[in-house]
Structure 1
């Protein structure tokens, strides 16, 4: 399970924090512009969550059913 939260939007760039297993003390960062598709930063969480799967799963849940980016959310998988 991974939680995510939109921290801010600056000049079209969405800054999300990613929390593996909901652990807010061990966060990852994703900053991107959804219009230009530019990736400004992608930082995996620290050990023991230091793999791409956390950000990858979070990305899969960033949009709601209308295609808009969520303020926060959670993605779980089995």
Structure 2
């Protein structure tokens, strides 16, 4: 291939394969961690809005008011 190619033993090739697998796994972990931190920072400002919105109880649609009964009859 290239002029400076070095013949590697099978053990050296396997060592390099394992090293690259570990390096790729480390990069994936770092990217995932960065994405989680970024998402957490994005949703941090909306946290209070969501908790307040969940606490609001809405009337159920199954109940028919007196006005609704007159319309249905």
TM-score, normalising length from structure 2? Answer: 0.24
Q: Which has the higher helix share?
A: 2
Q: Which has the higher strand share?
A: 1
Greater Rg over alpha carbons, structure: 2
